Amino acid sequence: MGKAIARLEDRLGVQLFQQTTRSQCLTEDGQQYYERCLRAIEELRVGEVMLENGQRAVAGKLRVTLPVLLGRHCVAPILRSYARQHPKLELELHLSDRGVDLIAEGFDLAVRNGAVANGSSLRSRRLLSQRKVLCVSRDYLAAHGEPRTLEDLADHALLPYWRNGHGLVWHLPNAQGQLVDVAVSSRMRLNDLEVIADAATEGMGLAWLPYWLVRERMQRGELVEIWGDRPSTVMECSAVWPAMQYLPLRSRLAIDLLAVELEKWKEE
């Protein structure tokens, strides 16, 4: 194994592993190479599944439940494209943030925020890991400056997500770079992440939001990230489906497609 790694490092011209007398770990270049290899393997798997099934048509009903914003922005466009490619497929998309019982309500597939463990009745697969970013408009920064520490946040307008009568805590880095819970108070009480992003874009304060939600606003310069060089909270989303011996082709291909396409929402 060691010789094979050495040959690969020679061919690539980079060091993939940092070795000590007791252990070895991936270097930054090694981690990037590993992640891209995983994507390539996933692409091959999708191709193999499609070839394996030959002329078998993707057909029948596929009922999928999605969280509202992640579904609207990221997942639904992928599944709509999937339905266009397979005219015999009947696609039902249900966008809701409530807890859905897949088996009792007859869903074939769910996409859920957060890591989900496999159990006796459900199976899961991680689709995407992505940071939450502290972001703000340029106009706000020009008027109020940038907070440098957690204590500075008390002097700024903040835009927390409001639920069940209180704002949800933010998980932000302290002076030592450790993520800590930060209780957030605000005169704004907003229970929709997209409305929060709109308010931040309009210069009403700082927001702590998933990267996938504000990516395009940041690319257009409407929002900028602050503290981007510090540790950040990572969100995961997963595909979940009822456990069964033979997963229908329509479900299996949909899961594989989501795993590949959602990688495009990952930061480069």
CATH assignment of the domain containing 217: 3.40.190.10
Range of the domain at 162: 131-234
What is the pLDDT at residue 230?
Answer: 84
Residue at 195 is within a domain: yes
Q: Is residue 227 within 8 Å of residue 131, measured between CB atoms?
A: no
Alpha carbons 65 and 88: distance in angstroms, whole number: 20
Residue at 71 is within a domain: no
What is the pLDDT at residue 47?
Answer: 65
Residues 6+ away with beta carbon under 8 Å from 159 = 186, 188, 190, 196, 199, 200, 204, 205, 206, 207
What is the pLDDT at residue 114?
Answer: 75
Residue at 124 is within a domain: no
Residue at 169 is within a domain: yes
In tens digits, the chain (268 residues) has pLDDT values of 667 777 777 787 877 777 766 667 778 877 888 877 877 776 776 666 555 554 467 889 999 999 998 999 899 999 999 999 999 999 999 998 888 888 889 899 999 987 676 677 889 999 988 889 999 999 999 999 999 988 898 889 999 988 777 778 888 888 787 888 888 878 888 888 999 999 999 999 999 999 989 999 999 999 999 988 888 888 888 999 998 877 889 999 999 999 999 887 765 4
- Tell me the residue type at 140: Y
- Tell me the residue type at 98: R
Residue at 246 is within a domain: no
Q: Are strands 224-226 and 122-136 parallel, antiparallel or unpaired?
A: antiparallel
User: What HEC string does the chain produce?
Assistant: CHHHHHHHHHHHCCCCEEECCCCEEECHHHHHHHHHHHHHHHHHHHHHHHHHCCCCCCCEEEEEEECHHHHHHHHHHHHHHHHHHCCCEEEEEEECCCCCCCCCCCCCEEEEECCCCCCCCEEEEEEEEEEEEEEECHHHHHHHCCCCCCHHHHHCCECCEEECCEECCEEEECCCCCEEEECCCCCCCECCHHHHHHHHHCCCCEEEEEHHHHHHHHHCCCCEEECCCCCCCEEEEEEEEECCCCCCHHHHHHHHHHHHHHHHHCCC
User: CA torsion 245→251→255→257, rounded to 10°?
Assistant: 140
Residue at 184 is within a domain: yes
What is the pLDDT at residue 263?
Answer: 82
Residue at 180 is within a domain: yes
Tell whether 136 and 230 lie within a shared domain: yes
Alpha carbons 171 and 192: distance in angstroms, whole number: 18
Total count of domains within the chain: 2
Residue at 153 is within a domain: yes
